[in-house]
Amino acid sequence: MKEELLGSGTAKNTGSGPGTDILLYGNSDLGFYGEISKENLPSTSLLCNTVNLTAGRLTEDVAPTGQGKFNWLKVIRNNVIFFILMASARTSWSGLNIDSADLLNAQCIYGEKTITFDDWLFKIRVLTGADVNPVPQPYNDHTGGEWNDIMYKVADGTWANYQAGDLGNDGYYSVCQETFSGTSTLISRGGDAKGTQMIDPTYLRWRPVLELVTS
């Protein structure tokens, strides 16, 4: 069974991490390895336990149609390999809501916490989603970051043709690293296949990114 530990153990420090080592598209500046089965990476319940995120519900426990698949997208950007969950791991649900303070207190936004899984070490964070931080109005004039670089390409045919329901964006939104100007509220991206919309939703969802740590 794979080792599942919080920031401990002896981690591998070379290689491209779980899944294929062969890029399907792009290069080390920006590239796509493909979809990786959820069995190759930590479960959403393990990730939530690791960061002690208890607000809301596990998405897999309550997921309706359109909440997304629970496999991972393996990508590389600026020579850094990371894995993006094709859904949220935790969602506001039926009065059990998640707010920005819950996520910031759990330190699951910027990579402060790590997890070792199958001898691979990962930072736990979320995607960047804007071209500036903090984000002023009008918000949709400032979409950008990793979200635009990656999520657009896996939905517009450049790298893949995933639908909104495959990516958990079918009317749903996931938090990103940036905040709205003058607040501590995290921005959210989603709403359609590419996730072109940036909003301040009432009900937040946490879509984790696992960033591979190598020497």
Could you report the per-residue pLDDT of 96-137, keeping only the tens digit for each?
999 999 999 999 999 999 999 999 999 999 999 999 999 999
DSSP 95: T
> Which pLDDT belongs to residue 186?
97
CA distances from 182 to 62, 131, 134, 143, 209 (A): 34, 17, 8, 18, 26
> Which pLDDT belongs to residue 11?
56
CA end-to-end span of the chain, whole Å? 25
Least Cα distance to 133 among 196, 100, 181 occurs for 181
Backbone φ and ψ of 202, nearest 5°: -70, -35
Is 72 in contact with 38 (CB distance < 8 Å)? yes
> Which pLDDT belongs to residue 185?
95
Mean pLDDT per 10-residue segment, the chain (215 residues):
38 81 97 96 96 94 70 97 96 91 97 96 98 96 98 98 92 95 96 95 93 90
Tokens of 52: 């002690």
> Which pLDDT belongs to residue 64?
59
Is the overall model pTM greater than 0.85, yes or no? yes
The whole-angstrom separation of Cα 17 and Cα 129 is: 24
> Which pLDDT belongs to residue 12?
64
